[in-house]
Amino acid sequence: MSDLAWTGRVLMDNAAWGDENGSTVTFRLPMNHDAEDKRNPFHSFTKRRKGKAGTRFMMACHTAGEGVRHALYEDEAMLAGWNDSQQKGHTVKLWLCNDNMGHPFDGVSRKTELLISLIELDDDNEPIDQKMRDRVERQGTRSSERVSYVAAMLCKEDNFYAFINEDIEQSGDFISPDVLNEEDAKQWIYQKCGISSRAELDAGHQSAVHFDNIRKAYLEFVGEDRVPF
């Protein structure tokens, strides 16, 4: 499934609960020493820090033993952090959405093998297409390859103003369709993608997916051979 952010077998490492932070669980991840990329698989997701929310997932966790698998947790989780150690192995720590008394991993001993699946959620609680996310993150470091560069170039195109104008007339948006300019186009992208700077499009999160949908619609509007980038 393209929606799966990560799935695999893990080892139980730690379960904790506190009045202030709620329930957390830490898993030890398998390491493939033959893999080209030996980084923690959660390095590209956002940790929760300084009061800012981390990446949110819908998580399913089951026992991984032979025979019938027992569900331990099926609910939302937030990335609290991860540890990337070649000597001690990789770990990931997750905050759990647990309003009930007790911890969902109470009684699960350390080093117990579990199977988890995680689906990344956007701000609207919709699954994020991981193939699209990975494609955006693989953008090169050269300016001409950045999503923000493409957005800046679109904002200079007269045809893009016509494209925006049509959208405004159909949706009754906030920009007057009479005379559009580069600044109007930039503000329109900000509103559609939920950002305050085009640089945010290079972060590879849901805003870049929204922009990719805008660019596809624009290509259909003018014809791909008429777009110079």
pLDDT of residue 222: 83
pLDDT of residue 148: 83
Q: Measured between alpha carbons, how far is 103 from 208 in angstroms, rounded to an integer?
A: 36
**Per-residue model confidence as pLDDT tens digits over 114-127:** 999 999 988 778 88
pLDDT of residue 101: 64
pLDDT of residue 61: 94
Residues of the chain with pLDDT under 50: 1, 139-144, 177, 226-229
pLDDT of residue 144: 44
With 0.75 as the threshold, say if the pTM is over it.
no
pLDDT of residue 100: 59
Domains, the chain, in order of start with CATH, read 4-128 (2.40.30), 133-226 (no CATH)
